Structure 1
Amino acid sequence: MTAVLETASDRGTWRRGRVIAVFSALTALLILAHPLVPNWAGNAGSLLETFLPWTGLLVLPLLVAALLRRSALALVSLLLPVLVWGGIFGGRLIDKTEAGGDLTIVSHNVNDENPDPAGTARALAASGAQVIALEELKKSEIPKYEDALAAAYPHHSVQGTVGIWSTFPLGDTRPVAIMPWTRALRTTVDTPKGPVVVFVAHLPSVRVRLEAGFTANGRDEAIGLLAGAVAEEPSARTVLVGDFNGTADDRALDPITARMRSAQEAAGNGFGFSWPAGLPLARIDQVFVAGLRPVAAWTLPATGSDHLPVAASVAF
């Protein structure tokens, strides 16, 4: 009789938890088929892709439910979303950084309410980067950045609210029209190993509103204009940095990611989340490259900004 009861109990663990198993399959489908989530309803697809790595946390409540139900079926079904998530994001958790590199670039949205511009500038200079790109520069605070960076970075240009500082000479610097006011620039950095074209951009902000969903139309339009400017650039070596208010997973950035590599994905260690600085949840600050090989990518310690600085080293 005991054996019969144990057998019946074992069968029960495989019969219970069918609802949990269904939700496990749906979670795996959501992670795998996120490009199919439409954007016509409040840009839901882009919103999902902004925080796509965090979809793995959906497994946790399912795991708790499976344990409470003592369901073998539910526990085994959880392998499906875990394997799908690992297949998509597991590679980003591997340390792909290498030593060396011919050029190091730092990009930072310094925040126009930064209480310590000079301290922020000194912290960025301490990274040893040859090129520093800044976004969201407040006009009245620009002299503080210029004074703090002047000694180590004798070449610089500010266009609107974005700027670039370099240890190497700059040439053919000009604004790039992506908005009614200037929030992007293009310049040529004359390195000892040859010229590199660098674009610095700060794309329009996005918002999540109950009545409108993920409002990103202005950003998406700016992405198209920026991608067009990059596509017209004849240089074999191009770098695009800045605050994109969007992640490399977001389909809205496809016009850029289709022709340029994310340095973080190619040569980083982890996800490299950059915003918000206090508890980073997404990487919306980017370093994209074309015609160059990323060898390392990382984030720098917090400054007085609500963003973390991002950095990358590339080889020619």
Structure 2
Amino acid sequence: MENFTEVVSFVLAAYGTIGELKYLYFTIMLLWYLSICVANTVLIMVIFLDKRLHEPMYILLCNLFVNEIGGSTALYPLLLTQMFSDTHEVTLPWCFLQMCCIYTSASVEFCSLAAMAYDRYVAICCPLHYNVIMKTGRVAIIILLVWMYSFVNITFAFSFIIRLKFCGNLIDKVFCDHHLIIKLACSVSVLNKISDLLFAFVTIVIPFSLISVSYMKILAVCLNTWKENKQKTISTCTPQLVSVSNLLVGCIFHFVDSRFDVAHVPDKVRIILSVYILVCQPMVTPFMYGFNLPKIRQSCKRFLFETK
């Protein structure tokens, strides 16, 4: 029983492969993190200041941009400090905190995309009732539900982990991974395994199902509309489809790396793939959704470049 109390920190073993290139990696990651924060912050400020953008779609986008900053902040500060650590140790509280923040952000990401898909469904399939269905107050409730759903989800998963006793402390990643932490437990009950799968189901499958249903209905409408309307609909929905596809690819990389033996894959490639969703998605979002939309692009030019 004494071994149960020995583990007071986890070791993020993947940092051991960085070697002498840590200064280069540190510079790249720092610049990337700053770029994410600047790009998303600019878009948040533009939407907040421009009253013409106070519409449901842009309010939902603003929530997504806030989440990108939060999710990146859960990863990058610890990642940057660990690059210069000799031991790469993270105390249990900090590891659990990072895990909660990262997975809450992932859940909010999927749920926000589901809410945006619903918004597009209403706008395209029920245009005459759009202003009635997507009132500002209702959009605020949707955003609140997105965050509450995600917090309840991670609280449920965390309630099983917090009670575990650990007999190992090596996590072969650059961040605290939910599944790998469970694998380090001295004994894993069937309930723990079920909670892990249920967490993945609630985080990914349910929101993705809602997204799929929304876009199938949108597609059905597209097939019965004129060519001009069809092109407009496709151009409106393309950024969301690209973002959802990118998110799913990142989830697949993360799932495979955590649950299967990928020892034959070069370490640096495996590390890049394991953090793909956390590194690429926060930068894809502002450019696919923000600067790609004409109204936001015009507002950005007006606020950033026009002189009064």
TM interval, shorter chain, is under 0.3
Q: Which has the higher helix share?
A: 2
Quick check: which has more Rg, 1 or 2?
A: 1
Q: Which has the higher strand share?
A: 1
Give the TM-score normalised by structure 1: 0.24
